Amino acid sequence: MSTTKFPPMKNDLILRAARGEKVERPPCWIMRQAGRYLPEYHEVKAGRDFFETCRDAEIASEITIQPVVHFEGLIDAAIIFSDILVIPQAMGMDVQMIDKVGPRFTDPLRVPEDLKRLNVKTDVSKELAWAFKAITLTRKKLDGRVPLLGFCGAPWTLMCYMIEGGGSKIYRFVKEWLYKYPKESHILLQQITDVAVEFLALQVQAGAQMLQVFESWGGELGPNEFNEFSLPYLRQISSKLPLRLKELGIAEKIPLSIFAKGSWYALDDLCESGYDVVSLDWLYLPENAVKVSKGRVTLQGNIDPCTMYGSDEIITQKVEQMIKGFGGGKQHYIVNFGHGTHPFMNPEKIRHFLKECHRVGSA
Ligand code: 1CP
């Protein structure tokens, strides 16, 4: 499938910023920008099951585009409406999304024997065909307004869910694997990595123009454990993906972003790991992150999402701090939150935030 069959781009700001080019202002998007804080999301979802919504290309594409329409002219990227847990599903695990609770795995992996239940030879093109259909349709419907981002969960973060069976506070079961069954942990991480590379490549083939890998639970690992159980797999993803894309006949360089939440100690290594963009949570002082990154990557982030519960004046002040901290935003910078939106957020506060990012970032 060639990208030439899609409408021409009217706004490619984020692609230019991700490639390290100088830009007129920093591009803006927000993790979880499509979702429960938008009233139109509830209208379209209409009480339907979350994964059913993702699998319906028409609905998923509509929800993906909602923030682009809602904040017209203020958002510079759309991210496909889906979830990181579709990889465990493709590998044969049953995952339900329980309203107001979160994801629940019917049968989490608890002992190495359980690895036998996984579908090792996952046919990604078949198992996740619905995801590619949704991406292609969304790219067409976007009509070049903004680039479309694809994504996947990072191997360690997905391993957490597959073993814990859902969200966790103490990561007891998955850490038991790391410290009791390190060999089998690596087998599982490798299996997830292989599926992730294929999934990302096929998302590009379907029309995704930039990709983000979510290592949301990176911060649960200490530096040594991060170096053993996360970083090598993140590096495999960034090195194998271009090779797979080449095999698929895609020569274009696709910007790749990594969000390793809580892994502040890893910033220097992440700048050398084959990613174009490193996305930061709010625990970094922007000035320090800039010093460490030394222009090797584009930094993305990193306002505390909870700032949106503050007054407009405080939001303005924090936007100024953030953009100045990242050097003014005209190179090597993409505006984002330090983590996702919350369902309770007021979209008008987010609009104020975006407007202020445009104002300060254009100055
Ligand atoms: O605009 C968008 O970003 C929408 C697409 C999207 C993405 C990129 C969704 C929709 N989920 C994700 C990624 C995702 N899913 C991550 C990585 C980003 C992050 O750290 O937040 C993670 C950890 C998940 C797992 C997940 N899915 C959780 C967290 C559970 C926990 O451990 O506490 C939850 C609650 C979900 C469900 C989900 N995914 C997406 C939405 C809109 C929702 C809420 C579902 C609903 O409508 O009730």
- The tens digit of pLDDT for each residue in 128-159 reads 999 999 999 999 999 999 999 999 999 999 99
Please tell me the distance between residue 51's alpha carbon and the centre of ligand 1 in angstroms: 11
**Per-residue pLDDT at 120:** 87
- Kindly report each contact of residues 168-177 with a partner whose C-beta sits within 8 Å and lies 24 or more positions away, as own/partner: 171/217, 171/220, 173/108, 173/110, 175/220, 177/112
CA distance 239 to 298: 18
Please tell me the distance between residue 35's alpha carbon and the centre of ligand 1 in angstroms: 9
Q: Whose CA is nearest to atom 12 of ligand 1?
A: 83
Contact 299, 289 (CB under 8 A): yes
284-299 in b/e form (b: 16+ CB < 10 A) is: bebeebbeebeebbbb
Site to substitute for ligand 1 among 53, 56, 62, 84, most atoms within 8 A of C-beta: 84
Helix (H, G, I), strand (E, B) or coil at 305: helix
Q: Whose CA is nearest to atom 3 of ligand 1?
A: 32
Rounded to two decimals, the ipTM of the complex is 0.91
CA distance 152 to 165: 18
CA distance 356 to 322: 11
Question: What's the mean per-residue pLDDT of the chain?
Answer: 97
Helix 182-206 × helix 231-247 angle, to 10°: 40
Q: Does ligand 1 lie within 6 Å of residue 105's CB atom?
A: no
* Domains identified in the chain and CATH numbers: 3-362 (3.20.20.210)
Enter the pTM of the model: 0.97
Site to substitute for ligand 1 among 30, 32, 157, 339, most atoms within 8 A of C-beta: 32
**Per-residue pLDDT at 4:** 58
CA distance 159 to 118: 12
10-residue averages of pLDDT along the chain (363 residues): 78 98 98 96 95 98 98 98 98 96 97 96 97 98 98 98 97 98 98 98 98 98 98 98 98 97 97 98 98 98 98 98 98 98 97 98 97
Closest ligand 1 atom to the C-alpha of 214?
A: 17
Q: Does ligand 1 lie within 6 Å of residue 79's CB atom?
A: yes
CA distance 270 to 124: 27
Bridge-partner residues for 210, per DSSP? 149
Q: Does ligand 1 lie within 6 Å of residue 340's CB atom?
A: yes
Please tell me the distance between residue 328's alpha carbon and the centre of ligand 1 in angstroms: 30
- The tens digit of pLDDT for each residue in 301-325 reads 999 999 999 999 999 999 999 999 9
Please tell me the distance between residue 32's alpha carbon and the centre of ligand 1 in angstroms: 7
Residue 115: both structure tokens together: 């690895």
